[in-house]
């Protein structure tokens, strides 16, 4: 499948409220859990033994070093260690490296083995409150495999923020941008609604809106945001803007945009997509469905200036 075909496939799945997951394990132990990642954030799986690992000075014990793959120097993150799993030397030799692309930043995740690719509807993805109770939690949501096994989707953005902070939003840069902005009355008096399931991304957005002294209401997924908008009835017209991720349990951001635009009371609200799935097709599809703007998650400091320009 070519890169463009992959982008088309990712967009078509999200339009239908579906996603494809690569399921993998980080240990050979029979009791070890299944984990998953969106297929369209992955590039390939390579055998660890075939790639020389160069250790580099780092402030994070999770950064093992780098490998060279097709001319690219790729940092390797110790995913088992992040999950409190210790691999033996023999297991490390047999392990694989999952090459991923997050917001254009290429990294390698050490895994034991890739299991299979599965397709799921977002309403089959669940985010129990227990995953959100602790700040140090690493699981975002889960789903079930055909045999009933639990499969966990991790907060990879949290891992990135710990090991490669520059891969995430620059909140300091945001506070400098905000200083010179004139906030319109509707934004000053209103509450921006945000659908975002990553706790790491949530924290950045909370800080961004706090810096600007603008009220916001956060929802763990798009369905909760949509239900809230519908519950407001005619008062939904007072919402200054909506910000939504694309990948979320229960309902994808594309579905959120479609439903918001089909509601007579919310159809005029400015909608901004804030996502790490930054392919041109996703941007184009967001626009076709009715979004007014698209900001990649590493540039979230641009959200408030964009809302102001739309108002």
Which of 140, 166, 192 is the last residue before a domain boundary?
166
Least Cα distance to 113 among 74, 141, 87 occurs for 87
Q: Check pLDDT > 50 for residue 34.
A: yes
The stretch 250-268 carries a mean pLDDT of 91
Which of 113, 144, 166 is the last residue before a domain boundary?
166
Per-residue pLDDT, 236: 93
Looking at the structure, tell me whether residues 29 and 175 fall in a common domain: no
Q: Check pLDDT > 70 for residue 286.
A: yes
The stretch 34-57 carries a mean pLDDT of 89
Q: How confident is the model at residue 25 (pLDDT cuts 50, 70, 90)?
A: very high
C-alpha to C-alpha distance for 300 and 178, rounded to whole angstroms: 12
Residues 6+ apart with CB under 8 A from 165: none
Alpha helices in 16-144 (DSSP H): 79-82, 89-94
Domain residue limits at 153 = 3-166
Looking at the structure, tell me whether residues 147 and 97 fall in a common domain: yes
Number of domains within the chain: 2
Tokens representing residue 45 in the block:
């799986």
Instruction: List, for residues 100-137, the tens digit of each pLDDT value.
Output: 887 778 899 999 999 889 988 888 888 776 665 556 67
Q: Check pLDDT > 60 for residue 165.
A: yes
Per-residue pLDDT, 288: 86
The model carries a pTM of 0.72
The stretch 277-290 carries a mean pLDDT of 78
Terminal CA-CA length for the chain: 41
Looking at the structure, tell me whether residues 90 and 141 fall in a common domain: yes
Strands across the sheet with 139-144, in order? 113-121, 18-25, 34-38, 150-154, 139-144
Looking at the structure, tell me whether residues 121 and 17 fall in a common domain: yes
Per-residue pLDDT, 13: 64
Minimum mean pLDDT range among 171-175, 247-251, 277-281, 292-296:
171-175
| Cβ neighbour number for residue 58 with a 10 Å cutoff | 14
Looking at the structure, tell me whether residues 156 and 172 fall in a common domain: no
| Cβ neighbour number for residue 3 with a 10 Å cutoff | 9
Looking at the structure, tell me whether residues 161 and 173 fall in a common domain: no
Looking at the structure, tell me whether residues 39 and 79 fall in a common domain: yes
Q: Write out the E strands in 129-275.
A: 139-144, 150-154, 191-195, 215-219, 242-244, 271-275
**Which CATH number do you get for residue 28?**
2.40.50.180
C-alpha to C-alpha distance for 21 and 118, rounded to whole angstroms: 5
Looking at the structure, tell me whether residues 232 and 120 fall in a common domain: no
**Which CATH number do you get for residue 218?**
3.40.50.2300
| Cβ neighbour number for residue 199 with a 10 Å cutoff | 20
Which of 143, 166, 189 is the last residue before a domain boundary?
166
Residues 6+ apart with CB under 8 A from 128: 142
Looking at the structure, tell me whether residues 151 and 189 fall in a common domain: no
Minimum mean pLDDT range among 42-46, 192-196, 257-261, 298-302:
298-302
Question: Quick one: what percent of the chain has pLDDT higher than 90?
Answer: 34
Q: Check pLDDT > 90 for residue 296.
A: no
The stretch 152-178 carries a mean pLDDT of 71
Looking at the structure, tell me whether residues 135 and 263 fall in a common domain: no
C-alpha to C-alpha distance for 12 and 281, rounded to whole angstroms: 9
Side-chain half-sphere of 287: how many Cα atoms within 13 Å? 9
Looking at the structure, tell me whether residues 266 and 122 fall in a common domain: no
The stretch 3-9 carries a mean pLDDT of 46
Looking at the structure, tell me whether residues 118 and 179 fall in a common domain: no
Buried/exposed 93-115: b ≥16 CB within 10 Å, e otherwise: eebbbbbbbbbebebbbbbbeeb
Instruction: List, for residues 190-247, the tens digit of each pLDDT value.
Output: 999 999 988 878 888 898 898 888 999 999 889 999 999 999 999 999 999 999 998 8
Instruction: List, for residues 58-81, the tens digit of each pLDDT value.
Output: 778 899 999 999 888 999 999 999
């Amino acid at each position: 499948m070519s890169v463009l075909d992959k982008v088309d496939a990712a967009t078509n799945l999200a339009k239908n409220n579906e996603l494809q997951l690569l399921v993998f394990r980080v240990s050979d132990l029979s009791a070890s859990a299944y984990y998953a990642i969106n297929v369209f954030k992955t590039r390939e799986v390579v055998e660890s033994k075939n790639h020389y690992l160069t250790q580099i000075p780092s402030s994070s014990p999770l950064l093992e070093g780098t490998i060279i793959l097709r001319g690219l120097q790729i940092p390797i993150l110790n995913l088992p260690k992040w999950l409190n799993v210790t691999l033996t030397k023999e297991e490390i030799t047999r392990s694989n490296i999952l090459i991923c692309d997050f917001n254009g930043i290429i990294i390698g995740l050490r895994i034991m083995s890739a299991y299979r690719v599965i397709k799921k509807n977002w309403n089959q993805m669940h985010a129990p409150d227990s995953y959100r109770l602790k700040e140090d939690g690493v699981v975002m949501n889960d789903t079930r495999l055909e045999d009933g096994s639990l499969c966990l989707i991790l907060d990879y953005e949290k891992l990135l923020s710990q090991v490669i902070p520059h891969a995430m939003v620059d909140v300091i840069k945001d506070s400098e941008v905000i200083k010179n902005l004139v906030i319109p009355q509707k934004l000053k008096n209103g509450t921006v609604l945000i659908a975002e399931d990553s706790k790491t991304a949530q924290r950045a957005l909370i800080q961004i809106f706090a810096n600007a002294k603008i009220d916001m209401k956060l929802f763990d997924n798009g369905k909760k945001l949509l239900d809230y908008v519908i519950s407001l009835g005619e008062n939904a017209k007072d919402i200054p803007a909506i910000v939504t991720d694309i990948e979320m349990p229960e309902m994808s951001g594309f579905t959120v945009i479609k439903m918001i635009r089909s509601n007579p009371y919310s159809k005029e609200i400015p909608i901004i997509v804030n996502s790490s799935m930054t392919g041109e097709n996703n941007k184009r599809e967001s626009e076709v469905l009715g979004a007014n703007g698209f900001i990649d998650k590493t540039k979230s400091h641009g959200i408030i200036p964009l809302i102001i320009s739309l108002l």
